[in-house]
């Protein structure tokens, strides 16, 4: 079965269960409520399908060539390919504006200066990288993306923006980034870190490629408490991620990786409701096209009962002796970008 069809079956099952629960006003409770009777049966069906999807994806051992849909669906009428939940901090924002606002928030939190070398993990179609290059005319951005088809599209975006002299896109995983030690002034990950499992390995790799004093800035979910609904892992699989750490866990993991000045800033209310409203508004115009995104918005609202969506920043400890100065020229280290 092809990936979109399998995910559609999974999404339909979970969407029905959430719809029934919502119709019964069960989601109005402050936490994850007990779900009785036939609704529980539907939820268990959803959990089972999610488990099959997760096992199948792990067995494949690779991500699909692309995300299974054209992101321009969300961006229309704009022709950009932004791919994040957005930061909806102003009234009457459209999707590309909200996505750009979230990327800018993450980049600003990294303290990026003109002339810096920035590694953007999970760069997607490189819209955030283009935005950063436009804001800083001498910055170098190295994007990293796991889906081959998206890498090709992102490289086309770099050419289109005429940024080949100071921007590049590399195929690879954030768990094994193809960059030398101590080469980046900043590492960012906009709305993708919850896909990086195990999370400590991502943090270790970010610390490895950062220069001493460099900054890490990313968005992720953290649990409000260790105890959570048994449905949470299955729901997280719906968005291809995992949420297993509390705020204290993140602080400890970052400290163990050699970071200091750690900050975890919850931004849930500026992100999830705005994205959910956007896809609901679009679904009124094209119900079949936007039904999967509506189900994703339900999933996010359900996750928000147990977790916070947060901006997490940290600085790599400055080492006075034994550090490797490194050098970044904005070019791939594991093969040349096509020209």
pLDDT digits (tens, 9 = 90+) for 111-120: 999 999 999 9
Q: DSSP label at 66?
A: S
CA dist 203 and 200 (Å) reads 5
CA dist 293 and 17 (Å) reads 16
Give mean pLDDT, residues 218-238: 82
The sign of the dihedral angle between the CA atoms of 179, 182, 186, 190 is positive
**Share of residues in the chain with pLDDT > 70 (%):** 73
Q: Of 146-150, 241-245, 331-335, which gets the smallest average pLDDT?
A: 331-335
pLDDT recorded at residue 338: 40
**How open is the CA angle 330-331-336, to the nearest 5 degrees?**
165
Higher pLDDT, 273 or 39: 273
Asked whether the predicted pLDDT for residue 40 surpasses 80, the reply is no
Q: DSSP label at 191?
A: S
What is the Cα 204 distance to its own chain's centre?
Answer: 18
Asked whether the predicted pLDDT for residue 108 surpasses 70, the reply is yes
pLDDT recorded at residue 302: 82
Residue 322: band (very low, low, confident or very high) from pLDDT cuts 50, 70, 90: very low
Tokens 């940290």 appear where? 314
List Cα–Cα distances, 268 to 94, 132, 311, in angstroms: 18, 24, 9
CA dist 220 and 307 (Å) reads 10
Asked whether the predicted pLDDT for residue 62 surpasses 60, the reply is no
Give mean pLDDT, residues 145-153: 93
pLDDT recorded at residue 128: 97
Q: Are 205 and 175 in contact (CB under 8 A)?
A: yes
Asked whether the predicted pLDDT for residue 90 surpasses 90, the reply is yes
Asked whether the predicted pLDDT for residue 11 surpasses 80, the reply is no
Residue 25: band (very low, low, confident or very high) from pLDDT cuts 50, 70, 90: very low
Give mean pLDDT, residues 181-192: 97
pLDDT recorded at residue 87: 98
Give mean pLDDT, residues 50-66: 50
Tokens 């200091």 appear where? 260
> How would you list the strands of the sheet with 117-121, edge to edge?
167-171, 140-145, 117-121, 184-189, 210-223, 307-316, 259-266
CA dist 331 and 258 (Å) reads 27
Higher pLDDT, 317 or 51: 317
pLDDT recorded at residue 297: 83
Q: Of 180-184, 185-189, 212-216, 226-230, which gets the smallest average pLDDT?
A: 226-230
Residue 240: band (very low, low, confident or very high) from pLDDT cuts 50, 70, 90: confident
pLDDT recorded at residue 184: 98
Across the chain, what does the average pLDDT equal? 81
């Amino acid at each position: 079965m092809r990936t979109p069809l399998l995910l559609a079956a999974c999404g339909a099952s979970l969407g029905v269960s959430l719809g029934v629960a919502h119709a019964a006003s069960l989601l109005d409770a402050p936490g994850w409520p007990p779900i009785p009777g036939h609704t529980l049966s539907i939820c268990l069906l959803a959990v089972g399908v999610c488990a099959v999807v997760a096992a199948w994806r792990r067995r494949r051992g690779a991500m699909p060539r692309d995300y299974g849909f054209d992101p321009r669906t969300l961006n229309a009428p704009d022709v950009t390919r932004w791919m994040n939940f957005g930061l909806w901090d102003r009234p009457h924002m459209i999707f590309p504006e909200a996505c750009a606002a979230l990327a800018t928030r993450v980049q600003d939190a990294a303290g990026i200066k003109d002339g810096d070398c920035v590694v953007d993990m999970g760069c997607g179609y490189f819209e955030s990288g283009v935005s950063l290059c436009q804001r800083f005319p001498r910055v170098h951005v190295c994007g990293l993306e796991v889906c081959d088809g998206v890498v090709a599209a992102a490289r086309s975006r770099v050419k289109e923006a005429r940024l080949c002299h100071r921007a590049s896109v590399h195929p690879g995983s954030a768990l094994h980034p193809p960059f030398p030690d101590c080469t980046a002034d900043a590492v960012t990950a906009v709305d993708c870190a919850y896909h990086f499992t195990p999370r400590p390995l991502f943090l270790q790799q970010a610390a490895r490629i950062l220069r001493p004093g460099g900054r890490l800035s990313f968005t992720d979910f953290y649990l409000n408490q260790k105890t959570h609904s048994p449905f949470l892992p299955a729901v997280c699989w719906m968005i291809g991620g995992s949420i297993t750490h509390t705020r204290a866990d993140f602080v400890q993991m970052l400290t163990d990786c050699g970071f200091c000045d750690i900050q975890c800033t919850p931004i849930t209310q500026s992100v999830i409701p705005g994205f959910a409203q956007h896809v609901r508004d679009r679904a009124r115009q094209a119900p079949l096209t936007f039904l999967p995104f509506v189900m994703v918005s339900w999933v996010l609202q359900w996750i928000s009962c147990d977790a916070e969506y947060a901006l997490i920043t940290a600085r790599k400890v400055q080492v006075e002796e034994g550090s490797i100065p490194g050098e970044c020229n904005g070019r791939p280290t594991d093969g040349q970008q096509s020209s």
